[in-house]
Amino acid sequence: MAVADFIISLLTFIAIYSLFGIGLNLKFGFTGLIDFGHVAYFMIGAYVTVVLTMPAGAAGYSGIGGFALPELFGVLGPIGSLFGWLLGVLGGMIAAALVSLAVGVPTLRLREDYLAITALGIATILTTVVNDEEWLFNGPFGINTVHAPLRDVFPLSLGSFTLNMAVFGILSLAAFGLTGYWLARAFRRQGRRGKLVLGVLVPLVAVWYFVLPTLSDGMVELTRNTLWLFDPTAGPKGGMDYDRFVLLLSVAALGGGYWLVERTINSPYGRVLRAIREDEDVPRALGKETFQYKLQALMLGSALAGAAGALWAINIGFIAPDQFAATITFYAFTAVIVGGTANNKGVILGTAFFWGIRNGTRFIDVPSQYSIQLAASRLMLIGVVLILILYYRPEGLLGEQDYDIPLPSRDSSGGTDDV
Amino acid sequence: MSEQNTPTPTPGVTPTDSPKIGDDGDPILRIEGITKQFGGITALDGVDLTVDPGITGLIGPNGAGKTTLFNCLTGFHKPDDGRVHLYETDITGKEPPAIAQQGMVRTFQIPRELADMTVFENLLLAPMNQHGERLRGAWIRGDQFVEEEQVIRDRAREIAVFFEIDHLLDEPAGSLSGGQRKLLEIARALLTDPDIVLLDEPLAGVNPTLEQKILGRIEALVEDGYSFLLIEHDIDLIMDNCERVVVMHQGAVLTTGAPEAVQSDERVIEAYLGGDDV
Ligand SMILES: Nc1ncnc2c1ncn2[C@@H]1O[C@H](COP(=O)(O)OP(=O)(O)O)[C@@H](O)[C@H]1O
Ligand SMILES: [Mg+2]
């Protein structure tokens, strides 16, 4: 596997889990709701979307459905089919939100730790039900007839090999440029220490990504890594393969979720959420119906987890109950806490960090008799890093984010408009 | 908001300049037979009380049940027995947000600033019925959203100036001194545009200069038509500043009246000198 392919799969992973983490951050970071059952909504989103979008009577499947929404709208062409899939995702998100409503109504009125305990229990029960009740979603055999939106459009070829290479190449380079610019800006704000980190990190990554593959596999590999959106082996004329599309789709979904949560918290609504996190009695004494707010935050965060689940299904192409173990929730908590609780950028950073270590170390070549030790030491490394961060930077790498409700400027006498 | 008030288009957002007192000077609060027990302890034993517009002092030795009475009035505790009327509305057993929306807000004995939010944000939180406080309003931002937020910011700055905490607006509320926290709590409560504010020991642990400042502020606000029920256990302070005084002892109202009358009441002297710590 070329390095570019590995990076694409890793980035897809990070984008999907970041969306999952941003949902958790809305609950935990901004509202203070400890939901140890977050993975349940990931599972519900995945299953409901898959069942709504896959064809009926699929071989080897004996559960409810499928309902073939993309096929239904497919008469309108590929766009119709995509719309059908999006409807399926919406269904998955709504289902996740509704289940969280059912969990929230009895628990959110109680003390905050009740949610944590109850949610963990309910998530475990849900996974067990999906696993044991075969009539529901095929039980432990899972579903391998996941509908992949626009699958037959790919590999996407724009015509000639050169045109493909030029268009996707330029897009790839632009993405490199933007990332570089953004990284440089982010690190410059960190002062000398930031420059040092950047100065070490960039050459290391450059050597690993560009130089080493070229040395071992030659110019084709270099081209592949540089023009990463362009896959020369995708069809006779080259083009963009489906994995790259799934990455873009996941990044777009992450962008959407990020925007929505930012919009939600940078508002008077978000002020109430944070007030609930700090001390719920205060907003209550000021006339805010905090129960409604907590319920809505729970549902919105769960819906985002559901969307992440839908993407997970197309990325893996197969879903089964054992993919949704409670550990996934705790991975997300780790990512949120490492990156910075109540910081959406921090969630992405923490997720990248977590999955970078978790999956990135697969590339370390060790004699096979040590591979089990390597797997164990990965988690150990993450654990050590988590402890170090909790000790030296309890607020996480980035700390809580700043808030701002932008208004057309008028006067700013007295206080500030940056809230 | 009580029915006595002229309705404002967006309550809490538009400051009401009309006096808050009903024209006929009806009592604001009618409390009848409020009882509250915690396990074996009877914290409130049939409290009967009428609170008129203006400033009313509530005194009594430690453990007399003053804070518990506030908790029962504002919905933080459910009374075991008895009724509370805010103007004509029966608010017994309602939830705190509903009671605050009716026009009665409270502060806490130990100030509860939202420590990680700025002083400004603490204040901006308070005004009621903000358009952007609903999910739809926050997502789809019309002109109303912008206008309201601007009005609210102006009001928050104004009241911060009034309480002389305007230089602290950008500080995290957790960095304030004890006295500043008390001021912030009062300012925040007032921004809900209430009819009556229940202040739980706003003067405790506050230095004498600030004490006078807070009392001066409260008097100015009474002129504007706000009413206050104020807990304080320094008897002299209450006597000098309140129009009426209520004395509580062992979960019941001992006596009510003008400061001079209460001060010379033998039962009050007895409760203070004979009873628990003062
Ligand atoms: N939440 C509670 N649980 C148990 N006992 C309480 C509680 N709140 C108050 N009390 C008891 O009720 C009595 C009155 O307390 P409180 O209302 O705080 O008095 P005050 O404010 O007048 O000093 C005290 O004996 C106190 O111990
Ligand atoms: Mg008290």
A38-84 pLDDT tens trace: 999 999 999 999 999 999 988 889 999 889 999 999 999 999 999 99
CB < 8 Å to B170, chain A? 415-416, 418
- Give me the mean pLDDT over the A237-249 stretch: 93
Which tokens belong to B278?
């003062």
Mean pLDDT of all residues belonging to chain B = 86
Measured between beta carbons, the chain B residues lying within 8 angstroms of A408 are 146
Q: Count each helix (H run) and each strand (E run) in chain B, helices first.
A: 10, 10
The number of folded domains in chain A is: 2
A197 and A299 belong to one structural domain: no
**What mean pLDDT do residues A103-116 have?**
85
Domain final position from A263, A298, A324: A324
Burial A349-364 (b: 16+ CB within 10 A, else e): bbbbbbbeebeeeeee
Residue A413 lies in a domain: no
Q: Pick from A240, A275, A300: which residue ends a domain?
A: A240
d(CA A196, CA A390): 23
Best residue for ligand 1 mutational test, from B37, B67, B68, B230 (most atoms within 8 Å of Cβ): B68
Q: Given the structure tokens 């953004």, which residue do they identify?
A: A182
Instruction: Give the tokens for residue A1.
Output: 């596997």
Residue A285 lies in a domain: yes
User: What is d(CA B75, CA B104) in angstroms, rounded to the nearest whole number?
Assistant: 10
- Asked if residues A137 and A130 have their Cβ atoms less than 8 Å apart, the reply is yes
User: Do A231 and A250 belong together in one domain?
Assistant: no
- Residue that has been written with the tokens 């080897």 in this structure: A60
Say whether B51 sits in a helix, a strand or coil. strand
pLDDT at site A87: 97
Say whether B95 and A272 touch across the interface (CB within 8 A): no
Half-sphere CA count of A131, side-chain side, radius 13 A: 12
Question: Under an 8 A CB cutoff, do A269 and B133 touch?
Answer: yes
Q: Do residue A250 and residue A180 come from a single domain?
A: no
Say whether both A14 and A135 belong to one domain: yes
What pLDDT is attached to residue A363? 64
Interval A192-200 mean pLDDT: 84
The DSSP symbol for A208 reads: I
B239 touches chain A (CB under 8 A): no
In chain B, which residues have their Cβ closer than 8 Å to the Cβ of A272?
125, 133
A321: DSSP letter: G
Provide the edge-to-edge strand list for the sheet that holds B252-257.
B104-106, B196-200, B227-231, B55-59, B244-249, B252-257
Beta bridge partners of B196: B104, B227
Q: Are A68 and A140 in the same domain?
A: yes
pLDDT of residue A365: 66
Task: For residue B68, give the H/E element and its range.
Answer: helix B66-73
**Closest CB from B106, B120, B130 relative to A419:** B120
Atom of ligand 1 nearest to the CA of B69: 17
**Mean pLDDT calculated for residue range A280-288:** 96
The answer to whether the CB atoms of A269 and B137 lie below 8 A apart is yes
Write out the two tokens for B210: 């600030």
Cβ–Cβ gap A415/B126 under 8 Å: no
Burial of A80 (0-12, 13-18, 19+ CB in 10 A): middle
- Residue ID of nearest Cα to ligand 1 atom 12: B43
pLDDT tens for residues B100-110?
999 999 999 99
| Closest chain B residue to the Cα of A278, Cα to Cα | B114
Residues B75 and B139: their CA atoms lie apart, in Å, by 32
User: With a CB-CB cutoff of 8 Å, which residues 142-161 of chain B face chain A?
Assistant: 146, 149-150, 152-153, 156-157, 160-161
Mean pLDDT, rounded, for A314-318: 95
Q: Are B113 and B184 in contact (CB under 8 A)?
A: yes
Residues of A within an 8 Å Cβ radius of B? 260, 263-264, 267-272, 274-275, 278-279, 281-290, 296, 300, 400, 403, 405, 407-408, 410, 413-419
Q: How far apart are CA B215 and CA A181, in angstroms?
A: 56
Considering the domain boundaries, does residue A374 fall inside one? no
Element (H, E) at B33: strand B29-38
**What 3-state DSSP class applies to B152?**
helix
pLDDT at A371: 77
The reported pLDDT for the residue numbered A413 is 47
* A296 contact residues in B (CB cutoff 8 A): 135
Cα-based distances in Å from B39 to A14, A346, B42: 53, 47, 8
A209 against B277, higher pLDDT:
A209
Rounded Cα gap, residues A70 and A56, in angstroms: 12
Same domain, A302 and A317: yes
Task: Note whether A28 and A34 are within 8 A (CB).
Answer: yes
CATH of domain B29-273: 3.40.50.300
Q: Based on the domain organization, do A21 and A120 belong to the same domain?
A: yes
Domain match, A65 and A126 both:
yes
Report pLDDT digits (tens) over B143-192.
Answer: 889 999 999 999 999 999 988 899 999 999 999 998 899 999 999 999 99
pLDDT at B19 over 50: no
What residues have CB less than 8 Å from A307, skipping those under 6 apart? A19, A45, A89, A92, A93, A253, A257
Q: Are residues A145 and A255 in the same domain?
A: yes
Nearest CA in chain A to B186: A286
Task: Please give the pLDDT value at position A192.
Answer: 84
pLDDT confidence of residue A50 = 97
A145 and A160 share a domain? no
CB contact under 8 A, A419 and B118: yes
> SS3 of B174, please?
helix
Residues above pLDDT 70, as percent of chain B: 89
Tokens of A109: 């009125």
Residue in chain B closest to A288 (alpha carbons) equals B97
Helix-, strand-, coil-residue percentages of chain A, each rounded to 5: 75, 0, 25
For residue A23, how far is its CA from the centre of ligand 1 (angstroms)? 40
Of B97, B138, B161, which is closest to A287 when you measure between CB atoms? B97
Residue nearest ligand 1's atom 10 by CA = B43
A119 found inside a domain: yes
What is the SS3 assignment for B199?
strand
Same domain, yes or no, for A292 and A145? yes
* B134/A272 Cβ within 8 A: no
pLDDT at A377 over 70: yes
Q: Which ligand does the CA of B43 lie closest to?
A: 1
Domain boundary among A240, A266, A285: A240
| The pLDDT of residue A367 | 75
> Does residue A280 belong to any structural domain of this protein?
yes
- Burial category of B192 from C-beta neighbours within 10 Å (exposed 0-12, middle 13-18, buried 19 and up): buried
CA gap B184, B275 in Å, rounded: 34
Q: Looking at the structure, tell me whether residues A180 and A294 fall in a common domain.
A: no
Write the CA distances from B277 to A345, B61, B232, integer angstroms: 54, 7, 14
Query: For residue B53, which of B81, B23, B78, B12 has the smallest C-alpha distance?
Result: B23
Closest CA to A286 of B76, B77, B106, B157: B106
Residue A418 has pLDDT above 70, yes or no: no
Residue A66: cis peptide before it, omega within 30 degrees of 0: yes
Question: What is the residue range of A107's domain?
Answer: 3-153+242-324
pTM over 0.80: yes
Mean pLDDT of the residues in chain A: 90
- Measured CA to CA, the distance from residue A257 to residue A69 in angstroms comes to 23
Q: Is there a contact between A386 and A337 (Cβ–Cβ < 8 Å)?
A: yes
Shortest CA distance from B193: residue in chain A: A286
pLDDT digits (tens, 9 = 90+) for B42-89: 999 999 999 999 999 999 888 999 999 999 999 999 999 999 999 999
Render pLDDT for A134-184 as a digit per residue (tens, 0 to 9): 999 999 999 999 999 999 999 899 989 999 999 999 999 999 999 889 888
How distant is the Cα of B105 from the closest Cα of chain A, in angstroms?
A: 6
pLDDT at A419 over 70: no
> Is the preceding peptide bond at B27 cis, omega within 30 degrees of 0?
no
Please state, in angstroms and as integers, the Cα–Cα distance from residue B93 to each residue in A136, B47, B73, following that order: 45, 15, 9
